[in-house]
Homo-oligomer: A and B are copies of this chain.
Amino acid sequence: MSEIKLSNRFYHGTKEELLEKIKNQLSDFRYKHILGVGQTCYELAKLNGVDPEQAMIAGFVHDYAKEKTDEQFIEKIKEKKLDSDLLNWGNFIWHGVVGAEFIKDELKITDEEILNAVRRHTVGAPEMTTLDQIVYVSDYVEPNRSFPDVEIARSLAYANLKQAVIFETKHTLQFLMSSSSKIYPDAILTYNAFVAEN
């Protein structure tokens, strides 16, 4: 993947310039993660008829805002007049929905398909484009991930993207519930659309 050159269709600069800007925002651990997600997005895009460059960039930037402070997120929610219910949540939700605004403002990436994939990467949505599904799944199965069922999830991702979305959605919710963690209500809309109707 390292030899891939960007075309200027989604980002006005080289891949190295984009990665440098992202690296400046993230800890080494998370930078390694976004490289893995970018690579997985690239591979899943080729398998699913999506533009691999667009998917790779979405993967690189999906956690761009993850290490912003709560104050930065709150300021951005107010500045952009986003849904004020967002203020009741935290980094887990903000880094996707509000993260897209930082990507737009600081990286000058304006492709709405990339921005939507970032917005939806944490809890999904009842209707997800193939690109949305690729970023959602890549985040879960990229090579640095390690959890009991990761090999099943990873095999599914390369065999059948939608089945990987279903697997991830169900298992994530079951995990949150087993640990009595708070669940973002929209995650249930994703569950009802992908898991319950299958």
Contact = CB atoms under 8 A, between A and B. Distances in A.
* Interface of A: prevailing SS: helix
A180 interface: yes
A18 interface: no
Contact of A188 (B180, B188, B198): B188
Given A180-B196, A180-B198, A198-B180, A185 B174 contact: no
Contacts of A173: 177
A185 B195 CA distance: 14
B196 A188 contact: no
A88 to B, nearest CB: 10
Interface in A19-49: none
Interface residues of A, number: 19
Nearest to A178: B174
A177 B180 contact: no
A170 interface: yes
In the A-B complex, the 6 residue pairs with the smallest Cβ-Cβ separation, listed nearest first, are A182-B196, A188-B188, A185-B188, A180-B195, A182-B192, A183-B188
Given A177-B177, A177-B195, A182-B196, 20 more contacts: A170-B177, A170-B180, A173-B177, A174-B174, A174-B177, A174-B178, A177-B191, A180-B195, A180-B196, A181-B196, A182-B192, A183-B188, A183-B191, A183-B192, A183-B196, A185-B185, A185-B188, A185-B189, A187-B188, A188-B188
